Amino acid sequence: MSGTPALAHTREELAGLLAAARGAHRRVGFVPTMGALHEGHASLMARARAEVGDGPVVVSVFVNPLQFGAGEDLDRYPRTLDADLEICAREGVDIVLAPSVEEVYPGWPEQREPEVTVEPGPLATVLEGRVRPGHFRGVLVVVAKLFGLVRPDVAVFGEKDYQQLVLVRRMVTDLCMGVDVVGAETCREPDGLALSSRNRYLDESQRLEAVYLSRALRAAQETAGYGPAVALDSARAELRQAKAVDLDYLVLTTPDLRELPAVVPAGTEARILVAARLGTTRLIDNLPLVLGTAREER
């Protein structure tokens, strides 16, 4: 499949478009999105193409109401389907699935909660889950539904939403879904800010200060050889320079988001994650790092 992507609004349309590819036993790649696509999403599409070769790449564009809490930006979340289709065409996407809420959640809006859902477990109650109760339940429900509709062999998720990536992998493993979940490196602006659909909400001064999030992570990465305490102190020092950054959390964890052991052997892989508000806009970011020693001092 190639050229302008075919647009499917219903599960029947999607099934028809995928039938020929499945008959040819080609691998199906999938990139789930909420639209408002940017170059970060484009990189996920390119990764999906690399994973499946001449198999079809499917992109979903669906703003999922179940993952938005009270007071969050569901209503103002940008809907830009025409522009999204242009990016998908440029990246060689074969099928774009853009379903209605009623298509994904039969009975909506009278029945706003599915009777059968996915319980994300204790990891969904920390970090983003602590600030956004129920968010990851909504994420996993819609991802499970989309996996059921698309039945992909490979699904690509960005590492910027790292907790989401970890939870999706856990769901796929625990529920034996048979999908290869690939994490793609975060795309960034030239100054280091992670690409995000929410960056458009920043005013000029907030945009200048937002870069301190990625600077903090880089500082931790560069000093990780001296141990976790030094890495965190380096990150905090960067953040203290930003007057408009309202820090939510800055944490250092294992790659699967567990607590680091009290003694950290040299060469231990870890993840540093940050979340903060600039005005009314909440941004997240993270980076991998390797802790070079069990000592926590220089």
Residue 282: CATH number of its domain: 3.30.1300.10
pLDDT of the residue at 293: 63
Range 44-58 burial, b when 16+ CB lie within 10 A, else e: bbbbbbebbeebbbb
Q: How far apart are CA 160 and CA 195, in angstroms?
A: 9
Q: How many domains does the chain have?
A: 2
pTM of the model: 0.94
Whole-number Cα distances in Å, 200 to 42, 75, 196, 250: 17, 15, 8, 23
Residue 1 has pLDDT above 70, yes or no: no
| Position 298 in a domain | no
Query: Are residue 136 and residue 266 in the same domain, yes or no?
Result: no
Q: Catalytic one among 9, 25, 38, 41?
A: 41
Domain boundary (130, 161, 184) is at 184
**Whole-number percent of the chain with pLDDT over 70:** 97
Across 30-42, average pLDDT: 96
In this structure, the answer to whether residues 179 and 204 fall within a common structural domain is no
Question: Does residue 1 belong to any structural domain of this protein?
Answer: no
Q: Of 146, 161, 184, which one is at a domain's C-terminal end?
A: 184
In this structure, of 9-13, 70-74, 79-83, the range with the lowest mean pLDDT score is 70-74
- Do 117 and 168 have their domain in common? yes
**221, pLDDT greater than 80:** yes
Find, among 178, 169, 170, 119, the residue nearest to 148 by Cα: 178
On whether residue 190 sits in a domain, the answer given is no
Asked if 60 and 207 sit in the same domain, the reply is: no
pLDDT band at 294 (very low <50, low <70, confident <90, very high): very low
Domain residues for the domain of 225 are 197-291
Indicate the average pLDDT of the chain.
94
Any residues with CB less than 8 A from the CB of 190 and at least 6 apart, and which?
Answer: none
Whether 41 is a known active-site residue: answer: yes
- DSSP-derived 3-state class of residue 173: helix
pLDDT one-digit tens code per residue, 19-30: 987 888 889 999
My answer on whether 115 and 175 are in the same domain is yes
How much of the chain, in percent, has pLDDT values that exceed 90? 86
Average pLDDT over residues 118-147: 96
**In-domain check, residue 26:** yes
